[in-house]
């Protein structure tokens, strides 16, 4: 190793490596170290991979990056909003959300208390997460992701506003009065 880095053999200090060989060997050594570091950095657990997709999805909405946001959905994905009428395919949801994505920020959800589980074959994940939002307060997101072509995609996401049990009766009456 010392001879590769410095061009001198410890056993034979008078022997020097050819400068071209030294340069090539040093470059190969550095490339191997970089490849090793990159593979270690990308060695995420499946839960970390799913979490990273969800984090990027939420981040994309907060900076109004429409293509990045909708790129996280599976082709047959569904988004369910807080209103009982809001069950959208990806194309329907994209059409509804287009005006929001033309602003500086579509919406802002800060996830916390996330729980992720997996099917036995590791190709399906389901989750629930609490979300802090500036306009709706505390929300809950739950959903399903599927692994397609080696990437995690959102097959279904359900956004809800948790109602404290003490308020449920009054809320149900308000909804029923509509």
CA distance 58 to 117: 19
- pLDDT for 35 beyond 70: no
Residues 6+ away with beta carbon under 8 Å from 54: 111, 114, 127, 129, 154
> Is 168:144 a contact under the CB 8 Å cutoff?
no
Residue 70 has pLDDT above 80, yes or no: yes
46-165 architecture in CATH? Roll (3.10)
pLDDT at 42: 63
- Please check the confidence at residue 172 and state whether its pLDDT lies above 80: yes
Check if the beta carbon of residue 16 is closer than 8 Å to that of residue 8.
yes
Question: Which strands make up the sheet holding 110-118, listed edge to edge?
Answer: 87-89, 73-80, 151-160, 137-148, 124-133, 110-118
Tell me the domain boundaries of the chain: 2-41, 46-165
């Amino acid at each position: 190793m010392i001879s590769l880095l410095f061009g001198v053999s410890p056993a034979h200090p008078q022997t020097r490596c050819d400068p071209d060989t030294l340069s090539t060997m040093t470059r190969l050594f550095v490339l191997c170290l970089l490849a090793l570091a990159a593979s270690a950095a990308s060695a995420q657990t499946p839960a970390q991979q799913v979490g990273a997709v969800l984090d990027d999805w939420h981040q994309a909405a907060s900076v109004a990056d429409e293509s990045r946001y909708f790129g996280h959905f599976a082709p047959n994905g569904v988004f369910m909003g807080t209103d009982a009428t809001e069950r959208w395919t990806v194309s329907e949801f994209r059409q509804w959300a287009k005006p929001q994505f033309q602003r500086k920020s579509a919406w802002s959800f800060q996830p916390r208390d996330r729980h992720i589980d997996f099917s036995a074959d590791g190709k399906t994940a389901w989750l629930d997460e609490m979300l802090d939002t500036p306009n709706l307060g505390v929300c809950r997101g739950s959903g399903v992701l599927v692994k397609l072509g080696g990437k995690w995609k959102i097959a279904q996401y359900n956004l809800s506003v948790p109602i404290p049990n003490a308020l449920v009766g009054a809320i149900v009456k308000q909804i029923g009065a509509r």
